[in-house]
Amino acid sequence: MGVTARVWPDAGSRQATLLARLDLHAPRDLVVHLPLRYEDETRITAIDAAPPGEAVQIEAEVVSSEIVFRPRRQLLARLRDDAGGEIVARWLNFYPSQQKQLAPGRRFRLFGELRGGFLGVEMVHPRLRAVEKGAALPQSLTPVYPTTAGLGQATLRQLIDAALASVPLDDPLPESLRRRLNLPAFADAVRYLHHPPPDADARALIERTHPAWRRVKFEELLVQQMSLRRAYNARRAHTAIALPPRHALTAALLDRLPFALTAAQRRVTEEIAADLALPHPMQRLLQGDVGSGKTVVAALAMLQAAENGWQAALMAPTEILAEQHYRKLGAWLAPLGVDLAWIAGGRKKRERAAALDRLRSGECLLAVGTHALLEDPVDMPRLALAVVDEQHRFGVRQRLALRDKGAHGQRPHMLMMSATPIPRTLAMTHYADLDISVLDESPPGRSPVQTRLVSAARRGEIVARLQAACLAGRQAYWVCPLIEESEALQLKTALETWEALQAALPELRVGLIHGRLKADEKAAVMAAFVAGDLHVLVATTVIEVGVDVPNASLMVIEHAERFGLAQLHQLRGRVGRGAAQSVCVLLFEQPLSETARARLKVIYEQTDGFAIAREDLRIRGPGEFIGARQSGLPLLRYADLEADAELIDPARAAAEELLATEPEAADRLLERWLGGREGLLSA
């Protein structure tokens, strides 16, 4: 690219290390490292005319300067401009050389806010530059860039200007596409954004609605779409075991189920069955709201592998959820004569060894487990399908490890499940490398959950309500607060809550479950609750997903303001799984932050997981929303999924067109934005 040593610091230097913290590894990265905001140094404001509280630039001569020690050590300089206005510039942190620099008679331009002080009008820690009288003013606004400690704005500006002069700013977008979308040329757009003229529309720049920003956002979306589409195409180029529907085991399960599939379950099952029949690996995301019936869809997919003589594994993020799946699938599959292995770290050594032997020999075709399925001793020589539940809880590398266990060196089909619905704009961008199936219908017989917001000051009333519900034959959950900074503190709170409820409700049986319990202890507590031997289950967030107890009709969540929307929705989904009217009580402490208030308002007003997910995306942003998956994705820096939604469809269409008809142009765009760092998109 014609890059010289002047453009980029030496590898291994401190400056290169600091740039790497900003994900800047080469001059091309600097071109698209765009300003956060701008400062106007294109004009001089007279001191007496400067509005208080606004950042302005003044030009003045030093009258005097001194270091004073009361009330604390500071450097003071008195300056006067050509109109006779005077200010005091004040520095609390300074070098001795700065006083020498501020010699009487020297002329400076100072940038900062003017305000009234003890010594008169003052600027505190202004930006300072020595000038000669009549020196030319900049012809563009001064950019302020995202940076890191130790890397100053002046250094970044020099490096970016050098990159703009040396990196080719060619325009791979077809002219017809640019005209259709009314987009400026790339070179014009980035030069404008790095150096806007003095008369630029400041609001359009800050709000990122200017045509130059529109071009950058479109190109960023386009590159993301191309990157994900290439990953999708690369996966389809691999071979997988074709698993055509045999309608043997799958039909037998459907005949024995005590319920009929919903129309959504039938549609999704057919989509997955068609994918499994193909000789390249399925990469499908099954998303459905809490209680929409994903488990039976996964069971049918696993049986389609088994009826072809191949193995399938279901991996869940926690032992509680893995065991829930194991028990539910076992109840469905045992009458069919299908063996099911359970692989989890907490299993007894002899039981685990026996399960591993059955899988290794091929005698057992189906397995359920935690991340223990990824460990070396787990050998499934005929693995053709991997199902990952709550896929966002697993890192990219964990999903890769499961993928690499495919039979005969071929990749297994991958079915990833999520109970956190994904908003359409997010599905079209960050999940564009996956085929997506949606369960948008709940099975009949589920009662809608009523949500109540209650101040923690009324805790006694809630305990009384819980007592009444349990004495009437129902069961209840009491979820303890999320304390992220300390698992030990969270455990202490859970123990205290358990003891307090036992004391307050002596006629009820109160159980306790938390992450520190051994696997067999957790299993025993859950089994007792499922069997109805416990009236109340005090729990930490280990019960967030997968727990299915139809008789539980009341949930109390303490310190609900500490939880995210997705967690609150997941927890609430543990009740309302039977026909009885169910209630979720959200206990909150005052005062509430604005974010917490917004979250609680959404969860109170909404029961639709997709509506909640849209609000969650708006509140949290995509990076946090997609969790562990982000480590393998080119995240968007500039495009906003809500504000720029109208650019997504054109970007998707253009991505398909460029990859098919102009692959060289596509390569140049990908190199400009990602520089070969397309992430672990194969996961």
DSSP characters over 516-560: TS-HHHHHHHHHHHHHT--SEEEE-GGGSSS---TTEEEEEETTG
Collapsing DSSP to helix, strand or coil, 676 comes out as coil
Q: How far apart are the first and last CA of the chain?
A: 32
pLDDT at 674: 86
**630 pLDDT band (50/70/90 cuts)?**
very low
In terms of pLDDT, which residue wins out, 111 or 489? 111
Reported as type and span, the H/E element at residue 472 is none
For the segment 466-478, what is each residue's pLDDT rounded down to a tens digit? 999 999 999 999 9
Three-class SS state of 205: helix
Q: Of 387, 256, 247, 358, nearest to 307 (Cα)?
A: 247
Q: Is the peptide bond before 591 cis (omega within 30 degrees of 0)?
A: yes
Amino acid, res. 72: R
- pLDDT band for 520, please (50, 70, 90 cuts): confident
Distance CA 557, CA 545 (A): 15
Residue 288 is predicted with a pLDDT of 86
Task: Give the single-character DSSP code of 627.
Answer: G
Tokens encoding 553: 């009709």
For the sheet with 107-113, list strands across it: 115-117, 120-124, 86-91, 74-80, 55-68, 107-113, 127-130
Residues 321-343 pLDDT 10s: 888 899 899 999 999 999 999 99
CA angle 287/289/295 to nearest 5° reads 65
Instruction: Give the residue-averaged pLDDT of 206-211.
Output: 94
> What is the pLDDT, as a whole number, of residue 429?
85
Q: At residue 678, does pLDDT exceed 80? A: no
Mean pLDDT of all residues belonging to the chain:
88
CA angle 671, 672, 676 (to 5 degrees): 30
- Compare 355 and 619 and report the one with higher pLDDT: 355
- pLDDT beyond 90 at 499: yes
245 confidence band (pLDDT: 50, 70, 90): very high
Q: How far apart are CA 281 and CA 384, in angstroms?
A: 9
The answer on pLDDT for 485 being more than 70 is no
Q: Is the pLDDT of residue 594 over 60?
A: yes
Band (pLDDT 50/70/90 cuts) for residue 622 is: low
Q: Provide the 10 A C-beta neighbour count for residue 113.
A: 16
**Residue 34 to residue 144: CA distance in whole angstroms:** 9
- For CA atoms 47, 49, 51, 54, the dihedral sign is negative
Of the pLDDT bands very low, low, confident and very high (cuts 50, 70, 90), residue 487 is low
What pLDDT score was predicted for residue 111? Answer: 96
Q: How far apart are CA 64 and CA 653, in angstroms?
A: 65
Closest to 526 in 3D by CA, of 518, 292, 468: 518
Average pLDDT over residues 85-104: 92
Query: Number of helices and strands (H, E) in the chain?
Result: 24, 22
Q: Coil, helix or strand for 119?
A: coil
pLDDT tens digit string along 160-174?
999 999 999 999 998
In angstroms, how far apart are the furthest CA atoms of the chain? 97
Q: For residue 138, give the DSSP letter.
A: P
Domains of the chain, start order: 14-39+144-207 (no CATH), 47-137 (2.40.50.140), 249-439 (3.40.50.300), 449-606 (3.40.50.300)
User: What is the structure's pLDDT at 680?
Assistant: 41
- Across 428-438, b (16+ Cβ under 10 Å) vs e yields bbbbbbbebbb
* pLDDT at residue 629 greater than cutoff 60: no
Radius of gyration of the chain (CA): 31
Long-range CB contact pairs, 632-637, < 8 A, 24+:
632/396, 632/679, 632/680, 632/681, 632/683, 633/228, 633/430, 633/679, 633/681, 634/223, 634/224, 634/227, 634/673, 634/674, 634/677, 634/678, 634/679, 635/430, 636/220, 636/221, 636/224, 636/429, 637/220
- Give me the sheet containing 435-439, strands edge to edge: 340-343, 366-369, 311-315, 383-388, 413-418, 283-288, 435-439
Give the helix/strand (H/E) hosting 92: none
Q: 388 near 399, Cβ under 8 Å?
A: yes
The per-residue b/e assignment along 371-407, b for 16 or more CB within 10 angstroms, e otherwise, is bbbbeeebebebbbbbbbbbbbbbbbebbebbbebbb
Q: How confident is the model at residue 407, as a pLDDT?
A: 74
Q: Over the stretch 212-227, which tens digit does the pLDDT of each residue have?
A: 999 999 999 999 999 9
Q: Which two tokens stand for residue 473?
A: 């034959």
Say what the pLDDT of residue 395 is.
62
Residue type, 435: D
Q: Is the pLDDT of residue 66 over 90?
A: yes
Q: State both tokens at 242.
A: 């074709």
pLDDT at 89: 96
Q: Are 474 and 537 in contact (CB under 8 A)?
A: no
What is the dihedral angle through the alpha carbons of 448, 452, 458, 464, rounded to the nearest 10 degrees? -10
Average pLDDT for residues 270-286, to the nearest whole number?
96
pLDDT band at 105, cuts 50/70/90?
very high
The answer to whether 65 touches 94, Cβ cutoff 8 Å, is: no
Residue 540 token pair = 């930490």
Helix or strand holding residue 478 (H, E)? strand 475-479
pLDDT tens figures, 9-58: 887 799 999 999 998 999 999 999 999 999 999 999 999 999 988 899 99
239/115 Cα distance (integer angstroms): 70
pLDDT-derived band at 117, boundaries 50, 70, 90: confident
